[in-house]
Amino acid sequence: MRLNKFLSSSGLASRRKCDEIICSGRVFVNGKCASVGCEINEKKDVVTVDGVRVKLPTDFVYLKLNKPKGYACTASDERGRKTIFDLVDTKTRLFSVGRLDYNTEGLIFLTNDGEFANLVAHPHFHFEKEYQVTVEGEMKESELAVLRNGVVEKGVRMPKAKVKLLEYDGKNTKLSVVIDEGQNHQVRRMFDCIGKVIVLLKRVRIGNVKLGGLSRGKTKPLTEEEIAFFVEAK
């Protein structure tokens, strides 16, 4: 097994991040400093990171979390803010699949299965992500068309989106926005480009997994069917 795959599967980080950790000289295999791209015997070799032995988990955990606003998607925040791991009561080392902005709420996955995390996050599979977006004021049909066709930002056209008008209450407009690419802050950037102020941004679906009635700050195990949706996409 490639070393970065082993580290990722152990729950350390994504494969790309694991390569960075290997390059930094923090990873040793059988007492020798490891190099990127090396192969290991996951059943026999002793792998350590910062002096701590790394092992593959024997039991995998797959959770969905309704992330509230005001929580960072990191294990420890350099600014001392609350993190999503403050919401999870487990001794198992978990990491998040993808990220949500500090002020964005909604569905996020937590797991200790690095291969599953890489699969869900990999851009090749184009798993849909659906957001409920509430913006100030009323949306014009022309603005909806721009979002659907791909907003142009600094001369570059962003990916198309599926946009559906859900409700206008005389003050704010609620929409469903579905994207299948994971550009940084993509939804917020889309609305910034057309001059709309977002009041609330919430992710409600990833692939076939819906947030449903899960309360803010609570977790729930993914079902076998939900996990299989992603695994069978390989």
> Which active-site residues does the annotation give?
101
- Collapsing DSSP to helix, strand or coil, 198 comes out as strand
Count of C-beta atoms within a 10 Å radius of residue 167:
9
Q: What is the DSSP string of 26-65?
A: -EEETTEE--TT-B--TTT--EEETTEE----SS--EEEE
Long-range contacts formed by 141-148: CB under 8 A, 24+ apart: 143/194, 143/196, 146/194, 147/177, 147/190, 147/191, 147/194
